[in-house]
Amino acid sequence: MNVDDPKLDRLFQLYGKCCPEVEPSANFMPVIWQRIEARRSFSLTFQRVARALATISVGLGLLLAGLNMAGAKRGIIAPTYADALAADHTVEKTYYTEAIRPIPPTDSIFAEYK
Amino acid sequence: MLVEQELIERARSGDADAFNQIVLAYRKRILGTISRHIGRPEDVEDVAQEVFVRLYYSLDQLRTAEVFEPWLYRLTVNASYDYLRRARRRNESRMADLSEQQVMIADSLAGGKQEQDEKQKGQVREFMNALFRHVSEEDRLLLTLKEVEGLSLKELEQVYKVNENALKVRLFRARQRVLKAYNAAVADGKL
């Protein structure tokens, strides 16, 4: 089988001639511009929403950072566990305990029971 | 090229009139290319409009005006693929398209030489559609671009972004399948 068979080329050429010319409708151009505008307005809306979300997130970030700094200055920020331990372990609050040693019964107290 | 490079440059810079002129120059060719790949005549214009919308939004990505035509063909091929993929998902078979075509041909047959010519042309198209069923949609597109629309291998290389040898192999195999189907049809007396 010869793939370069000229009858195949002739058949393709004939097919090309037999395909009808497609005429565009009167609405061809207006519809293209409508679609272009629709896509443009969609992308503009998307951009606006994305920009608004970005602005909101930056604002929230700044607000949280400000609150954090103000809280740190006033010292109302909840300390970490390690900070709390360190703060609690001051000299004033340190007291010593001795092991309780049972006192052996003396004769004076228990004498009558003997 | 059907338009001057300067016109393409103007369209790239956002000139709507230049873009309109490009559409006017290429719309028939693009409609013809799409109609050879898509069975449903009512969808051809829709796909062609999609090609030009994509062209509008991708003109700024075009490196030089010299590669405009391969670029436009690439957009056409991609839009046709997308359409065929959607059609496949909708489970539309080409058989349905063919029957629609046959109905249209049958409707147009009312006697007279012109109608006789139309009938013969319809038979050729139907026969070729039957042969093309032996290759994939992608290879059908490649074959028609090369053999019917006369794009060179260099141009196809730019359209498909693959090297010439790979294209030659694909074309060889596709031609082989079509020729085999053609010989079988001749042997069966269908031609």
- Full DSSP string of B41-75: HHHHHHHHHHHHHHHHHHGGG-S-GGGHHHHHHHH
- What is the value of pTM for the model shown? 0.68
Q: Which of A5, A15, A21 comes nearest B125 by C-beta? A: A15
ipTM of this complex = 0.75
Of A65-79, B3-17, B118-132, where does mean pLDDT reach its minimum? A65-79
Q: pLDDT tens digits for B7-19?
A: 999 998 889 999 9
Q: Torsions phi, psi of B140, nearest 5?
A: -60, -45
Q: Which of A3, A15, A36 comes nearest B128 by C-beta? A: A15
Handedness of CA B74, B80, B84, B86 (dihedral sign): positive
SS (HEC) of B143-182: HHHHHHCCCCHHHHHHHHCCCHHHHHHHHHHHHHHHHHHH
Contact: A29, B128; criterion CB under 8 Å: no
Is B152 in CB contact (< 8 Å) with chain A? no
Let me know: does A8 contact B178? Beta carbons within 8 Å: yes
Other beta carbons less than 10 A from residue B80's beta carbon:
24
Q: Which of A13, A17, A29 comes nearest B20 by C-beta? A: A29
A5 chain-B contacts, CB cut-off 8 A: 179
Q: Which of A44, A64, A42, A41 is nearest to A52 (CA)?
A: A44
* Mutant choice from A1, A2, A3 vs B, greatest count of B C-beta within 10 A: A3
**Which residue has better confidence, B187 or A54?**
A54
Q: What is the pLDDT of residue B95?
A: 46
Let me know: does A34 contact B40? Beta carbons within 8 Å: no
Average pLDDT over residues A12-40: 90
A24 chain-B contacts, CB cut-off 8 A: 27-28, 31, 45, 48
Give Dmax (Cα) for chain A: 138
Is A44 in CB contact (< 8 Å) with chain B? no
Q: pLDDT tens digits for B58-67?
A: 998 888 888 8
Let me know: does B83 contact B38? Beta carbons within 8 Å: yes
Q: Which tokens hold the place of B56?
A: 């509008």
